[in-house]
Amino acid sequence: MPRESQGAKRERLGKIIAGLKRTYPEAHCELNYRNPLQLMVATILSAQCTDKQVNIVTKDLFKKYKKAADFTNVPLEELQNDIRRIGLFRNKAKSIQNACRTLAEHHKGKVPRTMPELVALAGVGRKTANVILGNAFGVNEGVVVDTHVARLCERLKITSAKTPEKTEKDLVKLVPKEHWTMFSHWIIWHGRRRCDARKPDCPDCEIHSLCPSAS
């Protein structure tokens, strides 16, 4: 395939976005949450874990812990036990407690709305911060790059970057800012429902004609 210019790639990506938008009009964050604090906790728990498993655990977790202070007012071992069905639960419990302690001490128990304040919280990197800003606050600060987004964007030849940071840097240059949050949802939904890592359903793919890797 000849080298694609940035202009041609941007045009093709526009068609990909339109196709995915038509295919997944109901696309949304599949972590269950009712407020920014719950989304922060759920996103920390979701690292190397499926949204489905996180939702199973948070169903009871969020009944017990309603405020940031609730997470800090119990022994660490108790919180670890409450999330023990999640991978890396010991480290994640520490991160949640430390993040919530910062919220309680410096943010009046509220999740902040800026990238610098969010990434200063324990367990919150740029990806988690983008999830919170885009979904809890409607702020398009960047593009969430998880395993699905990285994999599909490479398969679609949108970027050849090998790290989430570089992938995001490429995407924010190509994806219209108003779509930054939804772009990740559309790509993630497509990755989970059509473009499987091992057996992509190319014949029935809605963006088959726009994918250089399609078989």
Angle between helices 89-106 and 36-45 in degrees, nearest 10: 150
Residue 127 annotated among the catalytic residues of the structure: yes
**Which candidate in 146, 157, 166, 169 is catalytic?**
146
59: CB partners within 8 A, 6+ apart: 32
| Start-end of H helices in 65-179 | 68-72, 76-82, 89-106, 115-119, 126-136, 147-155, 164-174
**Which candidate in 9, 82, 92, 127 is catalytic?**
127
Residue 201 annotated among the catalytic residues of the structure: no
What the block records as the tokens of 183 is: 């772009």
Q: What sign has the CA pseudo-torsion 108, 109, 115, 117? A: positive
Active-site positions read 127, 146
